[in-house]
């Protein structure tokens, strides 16, 4: 045999081995052990014991001082605008002809004091955990229900708890005797939660703080739902605290690039029928690969900035409400419908009202928290490719896949990380801000999932009883 042939043969054997090895041997990933970490203003000295904190839960009301509103008015009035290139829509970013209209509405029509009463329709609280004040909404069922299920909802970037104001009334309404007690915290560094003062506030720390929050509210076990960062935080909670999380429901499920998933993706790209549940539909979720890749490249510039030097852009956005609105609202355009890149108004008011959109901006503005919200990317950048992702989620899981979501994970590729996937829904319409855009679809899906899990829990209990007898 010639040298070339031998090398080729070795190459083929190594190649096949590389694909088969991870299929046969699934590496065991150990859960990291999390110690309480301090994020308060004054750093702990080395060796200093973790401070004993008050566990008080204080009522919180959104009530911004008149000074903040006067200052905002002045800034909006003195804004400067770029001249858009003739004939372009949102292709160069937020079109400033339309931006002027948004800002005119903000100045002349938008009513913050009225918004405050809307925001305050749900009870809100703050409590101190690991040195920072954590803000959360806490709403009990609208009427007595046979079964009350605690549900923790986590938002993402550039969103806020505001995204769930349409969903909360649907969730607290009993369906077949089941209603939710809903807890919606602001991630520390977002909205009305205090920004962490020390380095390292990532998804794992968020998970730890949120479990403590739920325990403080006397919920040892609960369900979790999330989108964007919230879906990753929910998954992290399910991985790290399987004894606390009864079930996980997320939109935007992440693909984990472990051996079996990569092997299935490669095989599925040529032979969809061998891999996918619905070959035609699921193949389109990932391929043509280059189309997906260019879309992600176009939409993810912000990610690179925020994962490396968030405070630089942060400085500009903290100083300019117009810049803040452009930077954030641009995401509500293409992340809701990628084609709206070609609309002069970014399609922004097709699914949302300007009032709804500006309230989310106001939450970033009045809390002065946009830079800290962007730091979350830097704190988490290293973790997204970490082995941590490969730890399977053992609790019952559900994924709602929206057609205009930024990325898709077909069901067949989720089985290694979500071995207990009991529900996967291909949604008829909707994009990234699912609960904000399609609250009914999201809430119905959560309710169906939780009903299934309650049934599973019940039959497991019955089985246990029968074996004892
Ligand atoms: C907001 O604060 C002002 C001034 O402190 C106070 O007069 C007003 O009653 C507060 N509003 C609410 C809704 O708490």
**Residue 279 to residue 355: CA distance in whole angstroms:** 41
**Residue 73 to residue 66: CA distance in whole angstroms:** 11
Strand, coil or helix: what is 11? helix
Q: Give residue 34's pLDDT.
A: 83
**Residue 446 to residue 222: CA distance in whole angstroms:** 13
Decide if 283 is catalytic: no
Instruction: Copy the structure tokens of residue 67.
Output: 């000074």
CA distances from 441 to 172, 422, 461 (A): 15, 18, 31
Decide if 228 is catalytic: yes
pTM of the full predicted structure?
Answer: 0.93
Q: Is 67 in the pocket of ligand 1 (CB under 6 A)?
A: no
Whose tokens are 């014991």? That residue is 49
Q: Helices (DSSP H) in 25-157: which residue ranges?
A: 66-77, 96-108, 112-119
Is there a contact between 418 and 389 (Cβ–Cβ < 8 Å)?
no
What is the atom index within ligand 1 of the atom nearest the CA of 61?
Answer: 14
Decide if 294 is catalytic: no
Is there a contact between 164 and 184 (Cβ–Cβ < 8 Å)?
yes
Whose tokens are 């829509």? That residue is 89
CA distances from 439 to 166, 171, 185 (A): 6, 10, 18
Q: Give residue 32's pLDDT.
A: 82
Q: Residue 181 pairs with which residues in a beta bridge?
A: 150
Instruction: Copy the structure tokens of residue 225.
Output: 């739902």
Strand, coil or helix: what is 197? coil
Backbone angles phi, psi at 149, to 5 degrees: -115, 120
* Domains, the chain, with CATH or none: 62-468 (3.40.50.1820)
Our CA angle for 62, 66, 70, nearest 5°, is: 125
Of these residues, 228, 282, 401, 445, which one is catalytic?
Answer: 228
Indicate the burial class of 258 (C-beta count within 10 angstroms; 0-12, 13-18, 19 or more).
Answer: middle
Q: Is 85 in the pocket of ligand 1 (CB under 6 A)?
A: no
Name the nearest CA neighbour of 284 among 403, 398, 399. Answer: 403
Name the nearest CA neighbour of 195 among 38, 369, 381. Answer: 369
Predicted confidence pLDDT, tens digits, the chain (469 residues): 566 676 666 656 555 655 565 555 555 677 888 889 999 999 999 888 888 889 999 999 999 999 999 999 999 999 999 999 999 999 999 999 999 999 999 999 999 999 999 999 999 999 999 999 999 999 999 999 999 999 999 999 999 999 999 999 999 999 999 999 999 999 999 999 999 999 999 999 999 999 999 999 999 999 999 999 999 999 999 999 999 999 999 999 999 988 889 999 999 999 999 999 999 999 999 999 999 899 999 999 999 999 999 999 999 999 999 999 999 999 999 999 999 999 999 999 999 999 999 999 999 999 999 999 999 999 999 887 788 888 999 999 999 999 999 999 999 999 989 999 999 999 999 999 999 999 999 999 999 999 999 999 999 999 888 887 6
What is the atom index within ligand 1 of the atom nearest the CA of 63?
Answer: 1
The residue whose C-alpha atom lies closest to atom 7 belonging to ligand 1 is 63
Return the best residue to mutate from 62, 63, 114, 124 for the ligand 1 pocket (most ligand atoms within 8 A of CB). Answer: 63
| 376 DSSP 8-state letter | H
Q: Give residue 9's pLDDT.
A: 64
What is the atom index within ligand 1 of the atom nearest the CA of 120?
Answer: 13
Of these residues, 98, 249, 432, 445, which one is catalytic?
Answer: 432
């Amino acid at each position: 045999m010639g040298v070339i042939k031998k090398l080729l043969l070795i190459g083929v054997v190594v190649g096949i081995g590389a694909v088969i090895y991870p299929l046969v041997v699934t590496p065991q990933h150990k859960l990291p052990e999390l110690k309480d970490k301090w994020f308060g203003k004054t750093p702990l000295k080395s060796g200093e014991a973790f401070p004993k904190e008050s566990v008080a839960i204080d009522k919180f009301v959104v009530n911004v001082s008149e000074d903040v509103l006067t200052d905002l008015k002045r800034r909006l009035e003195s804004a400067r605008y770029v001249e858009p290139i003739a004939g372009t829509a949102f292709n160069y970013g937020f079109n400033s002809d339309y931006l002027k209209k948004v800002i005119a509405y903000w100045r002349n029509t938008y009513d913050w004091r009225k918004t405050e009463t809307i925001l305050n329709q749900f009870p809100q609280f703050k409590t101190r955990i690991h040195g920072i004040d954590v803000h959360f909404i806490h709403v009990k069922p609208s009427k007595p229900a046979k079964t009350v299920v605690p549900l923790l909802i986590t938002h993402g970037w550039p969103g806020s708890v505001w995204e769930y104001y349409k969903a909360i009334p649907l969730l607290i309404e009993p369906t077949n005797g089941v209603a939710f007690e809903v807890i919606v915290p602001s991630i520390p560094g977002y909205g009305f939660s205090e920004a962490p003062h020390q380095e390292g506030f990532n998804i794992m720390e968020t998970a730890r703080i949120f479990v403590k929050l739920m325990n403080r509210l006397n919920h040892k076990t609960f369900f979790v739902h999330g989108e964007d960062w919230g879906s990753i935080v929910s998954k992290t909670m399910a991985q790290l605290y399987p004894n606390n999380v009864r079930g996980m429901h997320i939109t935007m499920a992440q693909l984990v690039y472990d051996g079996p998933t990569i092997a299935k993706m490669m095989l599925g790209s040529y032979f969809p029928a061998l891999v996918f549940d619905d070959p035609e539909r699921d193949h389109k979720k990932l391929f043509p690969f280059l189309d997906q890749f260019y879309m992600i490249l176009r939409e993810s510039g912000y990610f690179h900035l925020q994962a490396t030097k968030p405070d630089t852009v942060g400085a500009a956005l903290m100083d300019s409400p117009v810049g803040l609105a452009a930077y954030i609202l641009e995401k509500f355009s293409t992340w809701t419908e990628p084609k709206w890149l070609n609309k002069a108004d970014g399609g922004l008011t097709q699914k949302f009202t300007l009032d709804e959109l500006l309230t989310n901006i106001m939450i970033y503005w009045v809390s002065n928290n946009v830079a800290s919200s962007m730091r979350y990317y830097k704190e988490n950048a290293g973790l997204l490719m970490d082995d941590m992702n490969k730890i399977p989620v053992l609790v019952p899981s559900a994924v709602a896949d929206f057609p205009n979501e930024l990325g898709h994970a077909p069901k067949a590729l989720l089985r290694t990380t979500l071995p207990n996937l009991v529900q996967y829904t291909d949604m008829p319409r909707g994009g990234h801000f699912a609960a904000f855009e399609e609250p009914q679809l999201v809430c119905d899906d959560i309710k169906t999932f939780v009903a299934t899990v309650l049934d599973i829990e019940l039959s497991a209990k019955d089985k246990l009883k029968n074996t004892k007898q």
